Structure 1
Amino acid sequence: MDRLSDYNVVGSLLGLGEFILLEILCEMEIPQDAQQFLVLCRKTFKLLIHPRFMRIIQSIIEIQPIFIIKEFRLGRSDQNIFIHSDEIDNCTIAMNPVIIEGIVKIQIMFDNNEGWGSCIGIADASCSFAAGDGPGDYENRFKTVGYYSHGCFDHIITSETKGNQKYEDGQRIAVEVDMTTVPRKATFFVDDIEQPNFVIGIPEAVRFWVYTYNKSSSFSIIRFERLIKSTSQGVYGSKELQWGKERE
């Protein structure tokens, strides 16, 4: 990977002071760029002890989610928590930012679903969820893939793909998208355990989304971050699902 040329600093790092180096680091958006920059920068030891260094690294790694709430009747957000309305209804909440590069992982926890269906997944960035719609309603079934709490994996067809484990309130559910691989890939986790069903060939720009149904249910975003390397290792019995194709 050679991205430092974008910042016009290759070959001239030694002549720059630590404050300028910190400003260059501030402009970087993915951890891989920051890692390469620090490897090339021989003044790294000075940056490591600078009070701004850890704040900058944290800002590169951590992502602040923005909930896309189409109508107030769907529910409300409180920092990194979305709380469903006091009515039973479909509620699909997509999140910004759009993911177009790097490796990004989101981890959430559901609460108060009481056995009702809940789901997490990814969508083509062009996808829009109307108030009261499920994630796979109408044409969105071609633009989304989701992992439901009963363990099924849904994309395009209504007959869901089984194989991933069930999950409940209080468990940590995660999705990782790797935009650096060919083909691009999405992997799912429950309590840090990788699930066998994964998706390849995902769109070049995606959003994460979460679905709730029960009144006053909620989900909390525990972690939303950019990664230097994928946490996916592959598991026994893994099965790939091709984005845009029905499962045979």
Structure 2
Amino acid sequence: MAHIEDSKQNRKQPGGAMERTYLARANAKAQQTSKHAISSIDSIPPVAIFEHPDRAHQEGNKIVKTDDDDGNSLSAFNPIISSEIVRFEGKFKNIDGGYFTIGIFDAVTFFKDEKWPDEDDETMKRILIYGNNRTLIHFSEDNTIEMPEFKNDQRVAFEVNMSSTPRTLNFFIDDEQLPVQIINIPSAIRFYIGIDNEESSFTITRFERLQSSSAQEINESKTLEWGKQWENEKKEE
């Protein structure tokens, strides 16, 4: 999948001053919100499905880049998530200068016979990508919003609530909730990650079902809908 893999040519630049100001203000409010204790029901053993098995391998809860080329290595994870509240969290290593991603995709339509699809316009409608270049991408290559940057050894988490109406996805960095929520996510999803640099890795720190959601309401946060072209804020030059 060239768009997800091409770490150097496809790195998008952050948005304009208006978007940066908005996120800084909303994120400050998020950091002032008291944290919920995360109470899990049980852990989920991750089983990786590699787009290119020669580029990475799994060592327990860790995905390690195998070769030294510049190609991005994508790993999706079984099991498919279709019920309850689930948190997927991990830390990237050796991230500087590369393009690293974490995301979800529609488990019903994205894979066929557990094989990664070729990239086309339909593929982008079935996947959501959060990159360390501070962009969130979904639906089309130009359908992006600016996000806070995640760095080496920070815990990046996706929390999906498959029992709520609508189904939701919330984002966290080091337990701080980010001011963006995705609604109406697919009824069955897989989590995935992409690692780039030589000797880079992703260690899963939490993959578990939760008793209750740790997401809280944040003033001025963005609510975006899966499967729709987002109305990006006007960007200033």
Q: Is the 8 A contact 1:75 1:82 kept in 2?
A: yes
Question: 1:39 matched to which residue of 2?
Answer: none
Question: 2:148 matched to which residue of 1?
Answer: 165
How far residue 217 of structure 1 moved from its aligned partner, in angstroms, is 1.3
**Is 1:94 aligned to residue 92 of structure 2?**
no
Counterpart mapping for 1:37-56 below 5 A: none
> How many aligned residue pairs are there?
188
Q: Secondary structure at the match of 1:140?
A: helix
How far residue 130 of structure 1 moved from its aligned partner, in angstroms, is 6.0
Cα shift readout 1:159-218 (whole Å, capped 9, x = no counterpart): 253342111111000000001111100111111111112211011100000012222211
Given the two structures, how large is their TM-score scaled by the length of structure 2?
Answer: 0.74
Question: 2:25 matched to which residue of 1?
Answer: none
What are structure 1's unaligned runs of at least 5 residues?
1-56
Higher helix residue share = 1
Question: 2:139 matched to which residue of 1?
Answer: 156
Q: What code does the residue aligned with 2:212 have? A: K
Q: Secondary structure at the match of 2:159?
A: strand
In 1: Cα distance, 2:51 partner to 2:147 partner: 30
20, 32, 45: which is aligned to 1:64? 45
How far residue 92 of structure 1 moved from its aligned partner, in angstroms, is 1.6
How far residue 83 of structure 1 moved from its aligned partner, in angstroms, is 0.7
Counterpart mapping for 1:120-159 below 5 A: 120-126=102-108, 127-128=110-111, 137-138=119-120, 139-159=122-142
Cα shift readout 1:70-94 (whole Å, capped 9, x = no counterpart): 4431211111100113221122211
**Is 1:74 aligned to residue 55 of structure 2?**
yes
Q: Secondary structure at the match of 1:195?
A: strand
In 1: Cα distance, 2:50 partner to 2:95 partner: 19
In 1: Cα distance, 2:220 partner to 2:196 partner: 31
RMSD: 2.1
Q: Is the 8 A contact 1:76 1:83 kept in 2?
A: yes
Q: Secondary structure at the match of 1:167?
A: coil
In 1: Cα distance, 2:116 partner to 2:210 partner: 32
In 1: Cα distance, 2:160 partner to 2:198 partner: 30
Higher strand residue share = 2
Q: Secondary structure at the match of 2:144?
A: coil
Given the two structures, how large is their TM-score scaled by the length of structure 1?
Answer: 0.70
Question: 2:183 matched to which residue of 1?
Answer: 200
Q: Secondary structure at the match of 1:61?
A: strand
Question: 1:24 matched to which residue of 2?
Answer: none
Q: Is the 8 A contact 2:104 2:129 kept in 1?
A: yes
Cα shift readout 1:85-131 (whole Å, capped 9, x = no counterpart): 32211222110000010000011000012221111111100323867
How far residue 158 of structure 1 moved from its aligned partner, in angstroms, is 1.5
Q: Is the 8 A contact 1:89 1:132 kept in 2?
A: no
How far residue 240 of structure 1 moved from its aligned partner, in angstroms, is 1.3
The structure number with the bigger radius of gyration is 1
Q: What code does the residue aligned with 2:185 have? A: I
Q: Is the 8 A contact 2:143 2:229 kept in 1?
A: no
Counterpart mapping for 1:12-23 below 5 A: none
Cα shift readout 1:22-46 (whole Å, capped 9, x = no counterpart): xxxxxxxxxxxxxxxxxxxxxxxxx
Q: What code does the residue aligned with 1:91 have? A: S
Question: 2:26 matched to which residue of 1?
Answer: none
